[in-house]
Amino acid sequence: MSATVAIMRERFDPSRHGALLALAVILLFNLLVTPNFLQAQTLFVNISQVATIAIVAMGMTLVIATGGIDLSVGAIMALSGALAPLIFLSDFAAANPTLGLTASIVVPVFVALCCGIFNGVLVSFLNVQPIVATLIFFISGRGLAQVLTNGNLQTFTNPSFSYLGTGRVLGLPFQGWLVLLIALILYWVVTRSIFGRQLLAVGGNERAARLSGIPVHRVKIGAYVICAGLSGLAGLIVVAINSASDAARIGNLMELDAIAAAFVGGTLLQGGRAPIFGAILGAVIIQLVKYTLLANGIADEVALIAKAGIIIAAVYLQQARKE
């Protein structure tokens, strides 16, 4: 009898399934209280809003899995989002629409990947603390984006580019399918590839990983590059949704949302775990909390307090699971 009770407690242990329990509570509350929550438009809005958080959170999960952190994701989003309109509104793009559209996606993501290389080199080869290394682009990246745009809001009408943020596939937002595709790829990378095993080994015990012959430097750089590339892509999606680029606002506080989503999803700050779908679950919870407050007439500032409460709960559940 006692063995059966122990098994039941293990299955329904809140420390293991706290995020799912929180999601269920939020959904139930919205079903009972929030007006029009079941409408398709509400679903589309939440998918559009959560997509960018989820994309960045998945990249952040890989970085945290190595024992690091990346504060530059929001600034990289701003830089990527500022570059895209500059390219497809240029004379070159006007003369070569297809090449211009392709360049407006490829070039910003490539620049974001370069930012990731910079962060990774500082952390891995120069042994700079991750919070300090990524603080460089946290400060300068957004400033560079504002310099490129002269601090002006860039508005545009480009249906082909806007498809990234407003397109529909099988009736659902395109970026939602993009999140699913990225998640499946990263899940395979983490669970099936050599790089994924090395990533978790580095985060679990870096010294042991180095002694066993794992290329720790390359693994760390790879994690920061993937995170930066996904941040650049998220920046493009934000710009596509709004048909406008505001370097001062794109990705603002995204680093906090991404870290919170990864943490709520089960990522350990000391490294060694990379729950990709957990990061998406955390992003959904963060977004639904924000939406619930706004839909019920509560000020947006309160969402920051709610996020802090979610993080505190996640810390408690992780500590309970360790014990």
**DSSP string spanning 27-57?**
HHHHHHHSTTTTSHHHHHHHHHHHHHHHHHH
Average pLDDT rounded to a whole number, residues 217-244: 93
The CA angle 257-260-263, to the nearest 5 degrees, is 150
- Show Cβ contacts of residue 213 under 8 Å, excluding neighbours closer than 6 positions: none
Rg of the chain taking only CA atoms, in angstroms: 20
User: Measuring CA to CA, which residue among 244, 290, 252, 231 is closest to residue 60?
Assistant: 231
Q: What is the pLDDT of residue 5?
A: 43
Per-residue pLDDT band at 249 (split at 50, 70, 90)? confident
Phi and psi (nearest 5°) for 119? -60, -45
Q: What is the pLDDT of residue 265?
A: 84
Q: Is the pLDDT of residue 2 over 60?
A: no
Per-residue pLDDT band at 267 (split at 50, 70, 90)? confident
**Two tokens at 102?**
């392709």
In the numeric block, the tokens 């249906």 are attached to 159
Residues across the chain: 323
H or E element at residue 154: strand 154-155
Q: What is the pLDDT of residue 7?
A: 42
Q: Is the pLDDT of residue 3 over 50?
A: no
Assess contact for 101 and 88: CB atoms under 8 A: yes
Q: Is the pLDDT of residue 194 over 90?
A: yes
Q: Does this model's pTM top 0.95?
A: no
Per-residue pLDDT band at 1 (split at 50, 70, 90)? very low
Q: What is the pLDDT of residue 12?
A: 44
Tens of pLDDT along 116-173?
999 999 999 998 999 999 999 899 989 899 998 887 888 888 888 889 888 888 888 8
Q: Is the pLDDT of residue 43 over 90?
A: no
Average pLDDT rounded to a whole number, residues 211-230: 94
Tens of pLDDT along 61-105?
999 999 899 999 999 999 999 999 999 888 888 888 889 889 999
In the chain, % of residues over pLDDT 90:
40
Q: What is the pLDDT of residue 317?
A: 66
Q: Whole-number mean pLDDT of the chain?
A: 85
